[in-house]
Amino acid sequence: MKRDLDLVREILLTLEAQEDGESMGGGFTVPGHNIREVQYHVHLMGQAGLLTVVDIQTLGDQIPLAVPLSITWAGYDFLGATKDKDGSLWQAAKDKVIGPAGGVAFSVLLEWLKTEALRRLGIDP
């Protein structure tokens, strides 16, 4: 299964929208994505330090699976770096960084987002 950075962002946005940091547990879903795809990406996000997760993989599972407990500080930083009022920052990241490379290291994407956010604020990075 390929890593989907749009889904990573959607997972963070969905969790951020929960009241009082409420965990979604095993029933956590994101519209347009199957539960295994979401649980696999939650697992990846736990590895990346974006989420605190609980591993739910069993011996019969073909891929590692996890459910989210909470967003980490790094997760909020990534989410904040992808947000602006009109959504153009995330779209620009997809058009200029993710798309042309056919995929990109997460650290490269995050650095580009930070630099672009500073540039849009009129701060010379």
- Give residue-wise pLDDT tens across range 23-65: 566 677 898 999 889 999 999 999 999 999 999 888 887 888 8
Q: Is the dihedral of CA 104, 118, 6, 8 positive or negative?
A: positive
Residues 99-113: tens digit of each pLDDT: 876 678 888 899 999
Q: What percent of the chain has pLDDT over 90?
A: 40
C-alpha span between 25 and 68 (Å, rounded): 6
What is the pTM assigned to this prediction? 0.86
Residue 13: pLDDT band with limits 50, 70, 90:
very high
